[in-house]
Structure 1
Amino acid sequence: MKSFDGDCSFQVSSETERFLCERLLDHKQPISERFRALFSLRNLHGALPRNALIQATRDSSNLLAHEAAFALGQMQDAEAIPALEAVLNDLSLHPIVRHEAAEALGAIGLEHNVSLLKNSLVSDPAQEVRETCELALSRIEELMSTSISVSESSRFLSVDPAAPAACSSEVLLNEDKSMYERYAALFVLRNLGEEEAISAIVESLGANSALLRREVAYVLGQLQNKKASLALFQVLRDVNEHPMVRHEAAEALGSIADNQCIALLEEFAKDPEPIVSQSCEVALSMLEFERSGKSFEVTENKKDSVPFHAGTSSAAGVLLSWISVYEQLCLCYFLKNVQICRPNSVCLIESNESDPMIL
């Protein structure tokens, strides 16, 4: 899963929007190209992007399906609740997809979601899904009992499954504590970012809960600390580890992105588990775009633009340019109404009542 700030949205033409939806749902495209479309659509609002992401939650790629569910939660779009409920209740879907649907319902954070989460808490056969429902219910309960805004996000540009709390590393490592308490400890340690905190986070990769191990790997990717590399190597190499944990380890290694990380990603891009191999493929593709100074996400510009995919009829007339994903998010979050330029790219932020970002 990737970090996303719900306040960061940009406007594109209806033609570009349709193209992105078609690209997301096109099974003939490489998984990395479909992820590019997904990461772009989650920055948009409205029925067309939402419905494309909803359709993607039923994709044959469990990796893509779970990321689509995650995106719907990060967008905090209440219109997606019925579809997310259907995904959560469909036991034919992979647990990683049902888990993300439950987390998305918690991220949206409405009281309406409580009853369906309680139902899955007792009825879902997968432990990771039940634990996610427990987390989501605790988050909604906290939202209802405090003044915390449902749209409030961390400085890491993500809507966290639990609010950071003033607690110590002992809580994170204590198997007797509730999942919500341990998640809260994880996020406060992440926000501290100190070496001692990172050591405790790495140690928690040995937790009994696969769900917690997955979140730990995700947080290590957010921190991008090379001291976590060895532990993440071990997770990715462990074929007995849960695929969703190995998936997050692969994404975290892609965030750290030194030569050893890249070599391991190239090796496991051939892993027999599709969730793992596709994660490595997407991470490598993102790194390739970053090295070239382009964005993995699709953005539209009114000038200095280049064709996205020459020769594709559905993309005719779609003109696009690029800026790094990290810069795009940070500029939108911190530098609204400021024009920023860097070599080979243009970032144009226009100001009006809704503060759209047009790149």
Structure 2
Amino acid sequence: MTISVDAVDIVAAARNDPQTYARLEAELCNTDGTVPLHKRFRALFTLKSLADAPAVDIIDKAFVDPSALLKHELAYVLGQMRNPHALICLERVLRDQQEDPMVRHEAAEAIGAISKEDSLPLLEEYAKDDSRVVRETCELAIAKIKFEAKKAAGEESEDASAYTSVDPAPPVPKKAEKSTAQLREQLLDTTVSLFDRYRAMFALRNRGDVESVLALAEGLNDDSALFRHEIAYVFGQMQHPASVPALIKSLTNTTEEGMVRHECAEALGSIATPEVFPVLKQFATDENIVVRDSCIVGLDMFEHETSGEFQYADGLTAH
């Protein structure tokens, strides 16, 4: 995605306006207790566009919130910003054994996204964590950092992607000339390293056709909740209607892990086909608070996708 000159100018102006940061902090941290969750999410993604140290510090302050969903999203955004200033905060979150594993997992993934080799000892320590989702995420983050180091040394390369996200693994390169069937086989082969399975996942995402969507959907049957959650995340990026039945099946399965159902809800909100709305509405009262809150956010995303709004995080232009 190309950022327009106007957008660059808006971000630059915002960085020179202390009132912008004060307003975003008040919204994200809900200082007056009246800001609904979906507006806090929009403030968070506006801070993501600023990506500087003051924005990181505001996001850090929001980790006192009781919402595991919000804290998970805070960690995700810090990883996407790739600002090393966030590493102190992310290490604190990862080390906190009282924190929800979903939040700790996202902190580990964010550390991998920032990709500093100094983070390897920390990740190696928590690759032995009691929580499987934390262990697996640290394994991925270690492999990601090592890949980035090789890329910087000219020993590895990465294909350009239509997506702007910092992913936990690079896609299988096009020069490997793997068919969709071969990528599906790599994706589903549990004897292959998790990092290489993720590489197949992101290669299928980048292909973006129905055959790739159906191959990815089979990953929602994997025994790893982390893996299933990433499949749902990828579907949210692709916004392909062919993924809707699989996402609805996982969201409506009340025995599925909350972190998977949450990602399905947000993916459905971003896809925003007509059959999505009643499902999100139904599960916006789910017993699982993470699922419930994700459906509320998903409904806000649905509204955005069907409203013609130019961008979801519009906090720099809406005031």
Q: TM-score range by the shorter chain?
A: 0.7 to 0.9
- Take 1:261 and 1:55, find their aligned partners in 2: how far apart are those partners? 34
Q: CA deviation at 1:29?
A: 1.6
Asked whether 1:17 is paired with 2:21, we answer yes
1:89-137, Cα deviation, whole Å (9 max, x unpaired): 1010000100000000000000011000000001x21101100000000
Q: CA deviation at 1:45?
A: 3.2
2:231 partner SS: helix
Aligned equivalent of 2:144: 139
Aligned equivalent of 1:115: 121
Asked whether 1:240 is paired with 2:244, we answer no
1:99 to 100, 105, 115: 105
Aligned equivalent of 2:189: 174
2:169 partner SS: coil
1:130-179, Cα deviation, whole Å (9 max, x unpaired): 00000000011111122379999732110010011145210101111111
User: For the Cα contact (< 8 Å) 1:105–1:113, is it kept in 2?
Assistant: yes
Gap change, CA 1:141 and 1:21, over 3 Å in 2: same
2:64 partner SS: coil
Aligned equivalent of 1:163: 170
User: For the Cα contact (< 8 Å) 1:154–1:160, is it kept in 2?
Assistant: no
Gap change, CA 1:58 and 1:100, over 3 Å in 2: farther
Question: Percent identity of the aligned residues?
Answer: 41
- Take 1:46 and 1:240, find their aligned partners in 2: how far apart are those partners? 40
Aligned equivalent of 2:93: 87
User: For the Cα contact (< 8 Å) 1:221–1:251, is it kept in 2?
Assistant: yes
- Take 2:316 and 2:159, find their aligned partners in 1: how far apart are those partners? 27
Amino acid of the residue matched to residue 226 of structure 1? Answer: P
User: For the Cα contact (< 8 Å) 1:143–1:150, is it kept in 2?
Assistant: no
Aligned equivalent of 1:298: 314
1:226 to 234, 238, 241: 241
- Structure 2 unaligned segments of length 5 or more: list them: none
- Take 2:119 and 2:160, find their aligned partners in 1: how far apart are those partners? 20
Amino acid of the residue matched to residue 161 of structure 2? Answer: S
Gap change, CA 1:220 and 1:30, over 3 Å in 2: same
Asked whether 1:207 is paired with 2:212, we answer no
- Take 1:73 and 1:144, find their aligned partners in 2: how far apart are those partners? 17
In the alignment of these two chains, the number of paired residues is: 297
Alignment of 1:218-297 (within 5 A): 218-294=233-309, 295-297=311-313
Larger helix percent: 2
- Take 1:296 and 1:197, find their aligned partners in 2: how far apart are those partners? 27
Task: Give the TM-score of the pair, scaled to structure 1.
Answer: 0.78
Gap change, CA 1:195 and 1:286, over 3 Å in 2: closer
1:240 partner SS: coil
Q: CA deviation at 1:300?
A: 3.2
Which of structure 1's runs of 4+ aligned residues deviate more than 4 A? 148-153
Amino acid of the residue matched to residue 240 of structure 2? Answer: N
- Structure 1 unaligned segments of length 5 or more: list them: 302-307, 309-319, 321-359
1:197 to 193, 204, 212: 212
Range 225-234 or range 66-75, more displaced:
225-234
User: For the Cα contact (< 8 Å) 2:53–2:83, is it kept in 1?
Assistant: no
Task: Give the TM-score of the pair, scaled to structure 2.
Answer: 0.88
- Take 1:45 and 1:296, find their aligned partners in 2: how far apart are those partners? 17
- Take 1:173 and 1:260, find their aligned partners in 2: how far apart are those partners? 29
Aligned equivalent of 1:127: 132
Gap change, CA 1:25 and 1:151, over 3 Å in 2: farther
